[in-house]
């Protein structure tokens, strides 16, 4: 295995950990340790490979999960925020608005549960970057 392949595998291992443990308190040094890298090198390399910083990736993943919960459950927004890993409701609302373009309450009011396989819902409603959600579906 080449050094580049090894580094990419370690980055994927760290990204998988963020996907799996998104609701837990995660920080860049802790995730960098999973990839056996320093925090600075991990952040630079992660951004070069995946196109966004580790923090932004984790925030986007958390918001994706929150969008699904808001669309599919009647759980209060405060509980959704806690379930996806936000300690502060105001931080959750601010981040949600910057990613989706609407507050969680506004999103929920417009969201309609879709009767298609969940993989399509996730692909259609995945926030592509901060400030703009992709809209291939009815969200």
Residue 121 pLDDT? 61
- CB of 43 within 8 A of CB of 35? no
pLDDT, tens digit (0-9, with 9 covering 90-100), for 76-116: 999 999 999 999 999 999 999 999 999 999 999 998 766 77
Residue 129: both structure tokens together: 């970057």
Q: What are phi and psi of 75, to 5 degrees?
A: -60, 135
**Is the sign of the CA dihedral 137, 82, 104, 27 positive or negative?**
negative
Nearest-5° angle of CA 31, CA 23, CA 26?
25
pLDDT, tens digit (0-9, with 9 covering 90-100), for 21-60: 999 999 999 999 999 999 999 999 999 999 999 999 999 9
Rounded Cα–Cα distance for residues 80 and 104 (Å) = 10
């Amino acid at each position: 295995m080449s050094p580049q392949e090894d580094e990419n595998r370690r980055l994927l291992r760290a990204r998988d950990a963020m996907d799996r443990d998104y609701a837990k308190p995660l920080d860049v040094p802790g995730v960098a340790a999973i990839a056996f890298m320093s925090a600075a090198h991990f952040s630079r390399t992660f951004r070069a490979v995946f196109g966004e910083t580790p923090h932004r990736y984790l925030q986007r993943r958390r918001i994706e999960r929150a969008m699904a919960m808001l669309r599919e459950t009647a759980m209060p927004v405060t509980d959704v925020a806690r379930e996806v890993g936000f300690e502060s409701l105001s931080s959750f609302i601010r981040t949600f608005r910057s990613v989706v373009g609407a507050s969680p309450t506004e999103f929920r009011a417009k969201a309609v549960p879709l009767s298609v396989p969940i993989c399509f819902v996730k692909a259609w409603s995945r926030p592509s970057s901060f400030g703009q959600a992709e809209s291939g579906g009815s969200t």
